[in-house]
Amino acid sequence: MRKRHIAEKIAKFFLWYNRGVGLTNIVMDIMQKFFYVGGSMAILDYLFKIKLTPELLKVIVPVWFFGCILIGYADYKVGFAKVQNDIQNKEYTPFFGEISEDVKEIKKVVEELKNKQ
């Protein structure tokens, strides 16, 4: 019993860590875009003598950020992520599909028993 308790605590720690990494990556990605766009502007100036204003940096990154949100929202509305997840479950973890079918059968049996009473 003690080993299971320790394993659960470690598992929770990993879940918290992964969730924190995911949320932190959102902020880091925005900062990374500032550096990429700023670096690209510096390269354009150095190699091709094309000067772009720093204000452009303040426009490009938020447009990128909200563009990504819109793409994610469209993906959610279209249902592509769900289809992708269903395919993954069928191809890589087929036993989840079998479990789902078994649960549906159990529900039918339970409903039939309730209706008989």
pLDDT value of residue 33? 83
Residue 70 in tokens: 């819109």
- Per-residue pLDDT tens for 57-102? 788 888 988 998 899 899 888 888 888 888 877 777 777 777 878 8
- Whether the per-residue pLDDT at 1 is higher than 80: the answer is no
The span from the CA of 26 to the CA of 14, in Å, is: 19
Question: Could you report the per-residue pLDDT of 14-59, keeping only the tens digit for each?
Answer: 888 988 898 899 889 888 888 888 888 889 889 998 888 888 878 8
Token digits for 115? 């209706």
pLDDT of 61 reads 81
Element (H, E) at 70: helix 54-78
DSSP letter, residue 79: T
Radius of gyration of the chain from its Cα atoms, rounded to whole angstroms: 25
Provide the pLDDT for residue 53.
Answer: 82
For the chain, the maximum distance between any two Cα atoms, rounded to a whole number of angstroms, is 84
Distance, in Å, from the CA atom of 89 to the CA atom of 8, rounded to the nearest integer, reads 25
Does residue 58 or residue 10 have the better pLDDT? 10
Helix (H) or strand (E) segment spanning residue 49: none
User: pTM score, two decimals?
Assistant: 0.51
